[in-house]
Structure 1
């Protein structure tokens, strides 16, 4: 890697790996923790409320990079921003281990603010390492390698999370996330000398936007609009938090549009191309980020998680099983309740309880268990399915990178925008895998094989590898140098809006009597994004060519 990639990439790789270890450990257990009964240490929230909080949380973690990226560009520098952001996130992760409602929300706030400083800064450092002619041609591959580091952390974290919560409880799992964050900061410190050349603050230039103007024209209006959205009676987007978030985004979106409209001739076309990519990418994240909500629910309620024989023994040796009692009376109590959670109008809502797992087992399993209703059944932890996607990324990243390198040697490598559009289309196919799973399971009446989730994640991972690393790369390639981190913040803003939409979409799960229609809607959203991308592809490629890029 030394000849083709700068040495500093290795340290950014491991720093991000451990930071994402903590972040995705939280993501993997967050909804499960919120819906877990208070008796077993959870928050006892309803599924719909948990989806809403989850969507707002992951949305805000990608909204704050807008300001954090600007401050890193102009005030703090990337090193200070990474230290500040990492420290706040580490405290937030540990704080979630305190079983208290106030501590829960304060800790989320610390993580949200911390991520705003950390995320755009480390991504910008990666791009800056490839600013010289020696490494410039390998920027896409560098971001793919960096992206693999993210997913190694995301893969191992859920295994550790399952171990910690099974053996020591929810609090221990959250504290483990904090430890991972601080390990990442230590590794970053060890590699500072190899990153010094990339820690270059952009000089102030004519036409730059001052911090006071950013706060006065963007964030103050965003806060005011958010407050208005929160206080509006009769929710427009189904919840106060969603209304507040959508309203708060309006001034920020207007800011980026004005940035484009007032740009000089040299910057205008690249900025326009970036805004178009942000728009189509937003729809991808609206579907993809349902891995923490809808697909976690599918794993929890609709997937056969029972392990027996040698598999049970192997997993028991590392404590990755969850023991649950099977009681016929409990099965009758919870029968089909999870299929139709309702609102507060007096209609049935899903009953919280550990035995809800057994409501839709096969007749063969039910007959076997009823022979001895007091026997224990070993179930793999739901959060382990969150490791499937990063596991696929680890396996497929060398394949995808190698394929595009081969295409480059043949002179037929797709342009970066073309890769993004291809990723959108491939991702849409993953929703069709889930449609098939719904029909195989008779719309949730019978649990299905975990291989359906594995297959779904496999397909969307190919799409993700075409889209997400390319998104980071294209922001670094097209952004005017003085606005790199700010536009990186815009990229994360598009993810933020997509993340919130994912929570909104997931909260509609119980509105669909036929769950296949839920996944078909997601498929159509991605196909629409694909068509939108195709409609602007020619212009995007022209802009890339103008900049001397592929």
Structure 2
């Protein structure tokens, strides 16, 4: 480790920009993935049914949070972190480019598989490298600040990518938009290579110690049974949980969950309570992810059809030339036929059935807006792209992180800072309130009769982001504080497992959207799930705080 007078190691900016570009690619694909899948084949999309698209989206984001468990083990014990980052980055870049190039289903799914595998190698490795950079003086005391800076890189990438996606897909099409994600990943690897002399010293593999969980144990007792169970879930006749992919995922999770439960049962007296506390937190946290990750499905659908996306007059020209702008005429023309749930009618080939009419965007404009349009039906309408709303959450993360951190620091100075488990439970409750904002949005629009202001969606994202900042970083912190040292990697894998299951459930919940005539009920159900999680968290909070006290941490 080079000696320097700076508070942060010289490798930090290189890891910052490497991660920024990696997240640029990942969140770019998430922002347009569902829109691409439901877009008709005759306009460049895949022509999937909306429910199918939600299911695939949920499965994809679930698996990207499951593979870091195994990828982290391989990086720890076999590959090293630098090599794992290169492998993961190249796999992800190839996957993004493949999604952009191939619409044939085997190649499309294979490309998604490359992204899933690549993320498994990349995500845990770059975070570990960062921690290792701060393992020695004079940087050790600034590790938390280093991770906060690193987290900003993640959100800058997530903020910027949707503007680039909007421009690329409107000017060049879906394929080039996805390929841009791959190019971004390759740019990240170039930056990583340039900074290698400042990073290489942190590529330290942990020596094997007695009591360490063996890689063979994880493979034979967790992943092999999970793969076998997943295949059984896929091939059984019919569907139990709504689709083959959902059946396969739920079945695959059974042996993994059993492994963690058995870990708790067989733990010694010293480890049993901390492991039990972590498993309880994992259980309530997955409900948060089940709601939060609907930003790519249900909330994207809300932005697309129920939100007024008209650009202000002062921004029309800049948007037209710089970003994705859909120019629509209010005159009748050949347009897809949509049902009352905004689902395009498609034939067996995935092509839409069309008729003479007005674009679907104009179905539920307000009477005032309709009169304005009819006064000059040939005037083009410029819209903010749907995927731009995916940048609202990272914007709020960047804006609110100093506020949330400052608030808890103020409480700490007064001796009133809540414990880590208390922050997690608070995060669940605040997240539940975001669902009430969307209930208000439904009521304001008369259950879809009129489009509502984009401020409803922006406000909902703002509220759930506060919940995210209370819960997500605290969950990782809790794992590091409570895990028995020899089981830290396993318990971190458990945290990612709960995130993975929650991500999958987000797709399942989003696919139920069309079953609710009153869309407020959809958000009431999400509110109920998070309120239930809050209640469960409160019921175990006393025990969790007691375990924290026993471990001598806060």
Structure 2 counterparts to residues 184-203 of structure 1, below 5 A: 184-196=188-200, 198-203=202-207
Separation in structure 1 between the aligned mates of residue 165 and residue 173 of structure 2, nearest angstrom: 10
CA distance in 1, matches of 2:405, 2:134: 17
Alignment of 1:303-382 (within 5 A): 303-328=307-332, 334=337, 337-339=340-342, 355-382=359-386
Partner of 1:497: 501
Show the counterpart of 1:78: 81
- Provide the TM-score with structure 1 as the length reference: 0.92
Q: CA deviation at 1:15?
A: 2.1
Deviation, structure 1 residue 476: 2.8
Residues 284 and 526, structure 1, Cα contact 8 Å, conserved in 2: yes
Q: Do residues 471 (structure 1) and 475 (structure 2) align?
A: yes
SS at match of 2:477: helix
CA–CA separation in structure 1 for the residues paired with 2:354 and 2:547: 54
User: How many angstroms apart in 1 are the aligned matches of 2:129 and 2:247?
Assistant: 35
Range with bigger deviation, 117-126 or 105-114: 117-126
User: Which residue among 432, 436, 450 is the counterpart of 2:454?
Assistant: 450
TM-score w.r.t. the length of structure 2 is 0.91
Superposition deviation, residue 337 in structure 1: 2.9
Aligned residues: 546
Q: 1:423 Cα shift?
A: 0.9
What SS is found at the alignment partner of 2:382? strand
- What's 1:421 paired with? 425
Match of 2:234 in 1: 230
CA distance in 2, matches of 1:546, 1:121: 31
2-side partners of 1:231 and 1:343: how far apart? Answer: 27
1:33 aligned to 2:46?
no
Per the TM alignment, residue 328 of structure 1 is displaced from its structure 2 partner at its CA by 4.0
Among 156, 164, 170, the residue aligned to 2:168? 164
Counterpart of 1:290 (choices 291, 294, 316) is: 294
Question: Comparing 178-187 with 118-127, which one deviates more in the overlay?
Answer: 118-127
More divergent stretch after superposition (285-294 vs 403-412): 403-412
Gaps of 5+ in 2: none
Residues 337, 345 of structure 2: 8 Å contact kept: no
1:57 pairs with one of 55, 60, 65: 60
Paired residue for 1:18? 21
- Structure 1 residues 527 and 288, CA gap change in structure 2 (3 angstroms): same
Change (3 A) 1:96 1:290: same
Superposition CA RMSD, Å: 2.7
Unaligned runs of 5+ in 1: none
| Alpha-carbon shift at residue 269 of structure 1 (Å) | 3.1
Are the equivalent residues in 1 in contact too, given 2:40–2:47 (CA < 8 A)?
yes
User: In the TM superposition, what is the alpha-carbon distance from 1:203 to its structure 2 partner?
Assistant: 2.6
Q: Which moved more, 1:31-40 or 1:12-21?
A: 12-21
Q: How does 1:168-187 map to 2 (within 5 A)?
A: 168-187=172-191
Maintained 8 Å contact 1:22/1:157: yes
Distance 2:359 2:548 in 1: 56
* Distance in 1 separating the partners of 2:528 and 2:37: 30
Distance 1:465 1:157 in 2: 21
Deviation at 1:518, TM superposition (A): 0.3
Tell me the distance in 2 between the aligned counterparts of 1:162 and 1:414.
41
Deviates most, 239-248 or 405-414: 405-414
Distance 1:143 1:179, change over 3 A: same
